[in-house]
Amino acid sequence: MITGASSGIGAAAARHFAAEGAAVVLLARRKDRLDELVTEIRAAGGQAVATPGDVVDADAVRRSVSTAVETFGGLDGAFNNAGWGTIGPLVHETDDALFEQIMGVNVRGTWNCLQQQLPVLGAGGSIVNTSSTAGAFATGAISPYVAAKHAVLGLTRAAAAEYGPRGIRVNALVVGTVRTPLIEDAIREVPALEQGSVARQIQKRMAEPIEIARAAAWLLSDEASFITGGAVPVDGGASAV
């Protein structure tokens, strides 16, 4: 199961996981893009099904998990990737609605997914949540997003501690700046954002979505069988400096 699957990291993960042999259940709000992606994956010989919906809606998440169980016989892993944030004002100037929206997508969305996925995962099951370098250290002008991505790491560690005895692993990716449609739109509006986004990264470039997808696939796989509760950096070295 992959959330935020209609574009960017989620779409790259859908293609990559399917190419590696996984049957993928895709959850995102944009039905037209999900349908196109499912058609593409099936044409390449993969297995995929679309479940349009918003991770903030617990019923939509429940339907997606149920689809995985009913269509493919169960759920072995999940990549909870859906997230959203924006550059905003200072803390005391931040609108409550903006705070609630960012917390809703990133924290409530991850919470909804964990609540529905964990009961159906068996021993050997694995979950990867998408956090951010904003969840590892603070950056100004995005305080709700910083709070939300810190919370995603907290949920990851708590779930890992609770479900580890059942043989279920839960990890998070600490992701640097990725060249997604959302970031590219922001750069078109504020060109200086690109230079600022990569300044802290040792590699001095943005990640491509497939680079994050590959890291998620590895963490979900048995090759990472002794890793749980982790905050794994895929950030071009940003967390090392």
**Which one, of 177, 90, 170, 103, lies nearest residue 133 by Cα?**
177
Q: At 173, give phi and psi (nearest 5°).
A: -95, 130
Adjacent-strand bridge partners of 178: 207
What contacts 201, CB < 8 A, 6 or more positions away?
Answer: 176, 177, 235, 236, 237, 238
Complete edge-to-edge strand list for the sheet that includes strand 231-234: 47-52, 23-28, 2-3, 77-80, 126-132, 169-175, 231-234
Kindly calculate the radius of gyration of the chain based on its CA atoms and give it in whole angstroms: 17
Q: At 111, give phi and psi (nearest 5°).
A: -60, -45
Contact between 13 and 211 (Cβ < 8 Å): no
Return the active site residues: 145
**CA distance linking residue 218 with residue 183, whole number of Å:** 25
Residue 147's alpha-carbon distances to 8, 142, 144, 176, 183, in angstroms, are 23, 9, 5, 16, 20
Three-class SS of residue 80?
Answer: strand
